[in-house]
């Protein structure tokens, strides 16, 4: 739990923020902090000590006056933050705004706000002569017009894509603050559970302004009926008073939301927030949490600033997996299990890696599990790194080390720990029984954390692959295209486990097309397997230089087979059932023997293919398993990774909507597949 002091409510009231371009600004009683997501996925931060105008000038700290000072600070800091975020996102070398620039920007903003939300409603209300005789009625009509203009304005700007992104970061800001106020650890999992609506939001402030202004202007009726110019002067003169009253009222309502008499005051603003906030993704939440941590004076780890999203190891998940492995030992009367493979190490540790080389499945450190203990075994070069970076926070009872030059050191430690008992392994090392196939099913059903990781990885793989393909030009070699794809994957902290690239000549001859120097002049197929935190997901995309109707039709048939596979991947069915549907789909589109020329895919997870589907396979499909089907017809291929749940399937390797798609109806369910992107020559 996050430790907080006794004056929690006052500290909560001092904590707030705003959405900026691809980021979040947060402020506490001590610091202002900004966190902005760069185009490469990493997070850039800035933290400065807070020196509010209310502390520099004592008179501005007084009740009913301090609201003006707080609003001034908010405008100045907000404009600086927007300028900072714009320069970060655009990678601009322009100098920051000067004090003169900021003052001019605030002046223009106030001028626009006064004209749009104060003077325009007054002019419109004054057109209705019958309402001029009563200040109460006139103020009510004016307030309704003001509210309508405000809502129309919010609705119009919400249509724009860039504004939608800001509204999502606005939601991330609120969720982050809710997490802090709940006393929870500031991580994505906790923040995700909270609402995007917050009672101290600036949107709520504006809603209360509407209510206060109607009330105050109604009171002017005690001086008799005012003419247009008198009303105009009072609207301008009362702006500071309304701001001060609204600030105090919002602070009061935020402290007493439990009261049935106070809560109605906050409801209008919270309704409007349904427009000005949107559900953020986990990467946006990460930005909000980083900004909040910095504002609170907390430290942020380098892992939290990298591309993607940092979740860290989870001891609860680790212990759950340890129980599965110990239950396996018990049910088979084994005494110990030695895990050496990368995929098993990553699965057990929640994303850690015991590898050095990408080209081998064997790790440089092993985990030995007995009935009551767990050991890390590694040489003196790797032991400390594995403990501190790959297994941090996990309940490793003891680490055993041998010298890197001692050829018998590893085996000696294992033998000493297991003594004369029966031990098994995932590799058959030291003459042990190899149980890799038997323990593999323990990996297949993802935990909730693994599901979230898979969803983020799938999206990042699709965006990386599609972004690279959009940059491909006619005449590029397969190697050049491989470089583009690999660069995009690594920029999203994805390990390119496999990158296949084939142009028109080689794609028709081979199914596994390792890139060569061949030029791609008609079309190109690119298939990738990307790994992050141990999970491996797959996707394929095709690009054509000019419209080739024959190729498009063949690919459509290929996608139909893939759609049939996806649509029939249902919990409770067997892999044999799905394989049978795939074969029938090939026959429907006129390629009855094509399934014999390449495997069709199967279960995915911590290996690119945990299990390949074969005819009559009795293996049942379980909830929360990953599947990657990859049907091919000579020269075309369709492939994505899906998550299967009790409710159906979720295609994970989906990008940002820039790629054309085909839609198929399979068993009454729409299945969308990537089409060929056509680039006109």
CA distance 201 to 403: 59
Helices (H) and strands (E) in the chain, counts: 24, 23
What is the per-residue pLDDT for 480? 97
Cβ atoms of 286 and 452 closer than 8 Å:
no
pLDDT band at 308 (very low <50, low <70, confident <90, very high): low
Q: From residue 269, how far is each of 68, 191, 504 by CA, in Å?
A: 20, 22, 58
Residue 258 DSSP SS3 = coil
Question: Average pLDDT of 614-641?
Answer: 97
Residue the block writes with tokens 């996102």: 89
- DSSP for 403-467, written as a single string: -TT-TTHHHHHHHHHHTTS-EEESS-GGG-EE-HHHHTHHHHS--HHHHHHHHHHHHHHHHHHHH
pLDDT band at 492 (very low <50, low <70, confident <90, very high): confident
Helical H segments across 115-262, by residue range? 120-126, 135-157, 161-181, 188-192, 202-219, 228-237, 239-255
Q: Provide the phi-psi class of 414: left if phi over 0, else alpha when psi is between -120 and 50, else beta.
A: alpha
3-state helix, strand, coil in the chain (%, to 5): 50, 20, 30
Percent of the chain with pLDDT over 70: 93
pLDDT band at 546 (very low <50, low <70, confident <90, very high): very high
What is the per-residue pLDDT for 2? 41
Residue 361: closest CA among 339, 381, 333:
339
What is the per-residue pLDDT for 10? 47
Residue 540: beta bridge partners?
527
pLDDT band at 6 (very low <50, low <70, confident <90, very high): very low
Q: Give the residue with greater pLDDT, 540 vs 84.
A: 540
Of 29-43, 493-507, 618-632, the poorest mean pLDDT is in 29-43
Question: Average pLDDT of 291-309?
Answer: 80
User: What φ, ψ does residue 224 adopt, rounded to 5°?
Assistant: 95, 180
What is the per-residue pLDDT for 397? 65
What is the per-residue pLDDT for 101? 79
pLDDT(8) > 70: no
pLDDT band at 5 (very low <50, low <70, confident <90, very high): very low
pLDDT single digits (tens) 192-208: 889 998 887 877 777 77
CA distance 128 to 138: 9
The answer to whether the predicted template modeling score (pTM) of the entire model surpasses 0.75 is: no
Mean pLDDT, the chain, as a whole number?
88
Q: What is the CA radius of gyration of the chain?
A: 31
Question: Average pLDDT of 598-619?
Answer: 97
Residue 654 DSSP SS3 = coil
pLDDT band at 411 (very low <50, low <70, confident <90, very high): very high
Helical H segments across 256-314, by residue range? 263-276, 282-295
Residue 14 DSSP SS3 = coil
pLDDT single digits (tens) 352-386: 999 998 878 899 999 999 998 999 999 999 999 99
């Amino acid at each position: 739990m996050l430790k907080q002091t006794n004056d929690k409510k006052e500290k909560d009231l001092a904590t707030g923020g705003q959405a900026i371009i691809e980021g979040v600004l947060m402020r506490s009683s001590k610091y202002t902090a900004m966190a902005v997501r760069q185009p490469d996925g990493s997070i850039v931060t800035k933290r400065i000590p807070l020196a509010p105008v209310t502390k520099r000038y004592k008179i501005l700290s007084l009740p009913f006056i301090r609201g003006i000072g707080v609003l001034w600070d908010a405008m100045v800091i907000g404009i600086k933050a927007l300028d900072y975020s714009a320069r970060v996102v655009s990678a601009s070398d322009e100098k920051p705004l000067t004090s003169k620039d900021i003052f001019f920007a605030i002046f223009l903003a106030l001028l626009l706000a006064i004209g749009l939300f104060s003077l325009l409603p007054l002019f419109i209300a004054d057109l209705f002569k019958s309402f001029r005789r009563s200040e109460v009625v006139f103020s009510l009509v004016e307030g309704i017009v003001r509210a309508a203009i405000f809502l129309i304005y919010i609705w119009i700007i919400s249509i724009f894509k860039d504004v939608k992104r800001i509204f999502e970061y606005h939601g991330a800001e609120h969720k982050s603050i809710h997490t802090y106020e709940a006393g929870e650890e500031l991580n994505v999992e906790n923040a995700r559970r909270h609402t995007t609506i917050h009672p101290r939001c600036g949107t709520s402030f504006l809603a209360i302004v509407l209510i206060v202004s109607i009330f105050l202007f109604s009171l002017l009726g005690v001086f008799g009926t005012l003419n247009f110019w008198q009303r105009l002067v009072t609207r301008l003169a009362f702006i500071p008073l309304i701001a001060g009253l609204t600030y105090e009222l919002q602070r009061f309502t935020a402290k007493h939301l439990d009261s049935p008499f106070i809560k109605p005051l906050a409801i209008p603003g919270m309704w409007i927030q349904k427009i000005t906030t949107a559900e953020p993704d986990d990467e946006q939440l990460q930005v909000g949490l980083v900004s909040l941590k910095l504002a609170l004076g907390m430290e942020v780890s380098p892992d939290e600033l990298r591309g993607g999203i940092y979740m860290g190891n989870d001891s609860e998940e680790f212990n759950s997996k340890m129980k599965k492995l110990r239950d396996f030992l018990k049910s088979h009367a084994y005494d110990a299990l030695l895990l050496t493979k990368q995929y098993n190490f990553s699965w057990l540790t929640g994303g850690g890696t015991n590898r050095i080389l990408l080209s081998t499945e064997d790790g440089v450190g092993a985990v030995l599990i007995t009935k009551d203990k767990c050991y890390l075994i590694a040489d003196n070069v790797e032991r400390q790194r594995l403990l501190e970076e790959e297994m941090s926070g996990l309940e490793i009872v003891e680490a055993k080390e041998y010298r890197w030059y001692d050829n018998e050191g590893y085996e000696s430690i294992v033998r000493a720990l297991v003594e004369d008992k029966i031990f098994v392994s995932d590799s058959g090392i030291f003459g042990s029984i190899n149980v890799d196939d038997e323990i593999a099913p323990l990996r297949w059903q993802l935990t909730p954390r693994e599901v979230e990781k898979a969803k983020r990885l799938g999206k990042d793989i699709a965006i990386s692959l599609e972004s690279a393909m959009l940059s491909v030009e006619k005449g590029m070699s397969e190697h050049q295209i491989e470089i583009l794809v690999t660069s995009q994957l690594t920029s999203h902290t994805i390990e390119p486990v496999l990158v296949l690239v084939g142009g028109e000549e080689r794609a028709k001859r081979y199914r596994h097309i390792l890139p060569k120097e061949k030029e791609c002049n008609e079309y190109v197929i690119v298939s990738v397997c990307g790994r992050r935190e141990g999970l491996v997901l797959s996707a394929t995309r095709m690009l054509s230089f000019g419209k080739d109707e024959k190729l498009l039709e063949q690919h459509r048939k290929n996608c139909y087979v893939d759609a049939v596979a996806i649509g029939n991947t249902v919990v409770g069915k067997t892999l044999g059932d799905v394989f049978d549907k795939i074969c029938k789909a090939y026959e429907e589109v006129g390629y009855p023997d094509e399934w014999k020329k390449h495997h069709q895919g199967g279960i995915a997870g911590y290996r690119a293919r945990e299990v390949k589907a074969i005819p009559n396979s009795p293996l049942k499909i379980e909830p929360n398993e990953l599947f990657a089907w990859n049907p091919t017809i000579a020269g075309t291929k369709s492939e994505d990774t899906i998550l299967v749940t009790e409710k159906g399937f979720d295609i994970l390797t989906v990008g940002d909507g820039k790629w054309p798609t085909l839609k198929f109806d399979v068993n009454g369910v729409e299945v969308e597949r990537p089409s060929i992107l056509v680039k006109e020559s």
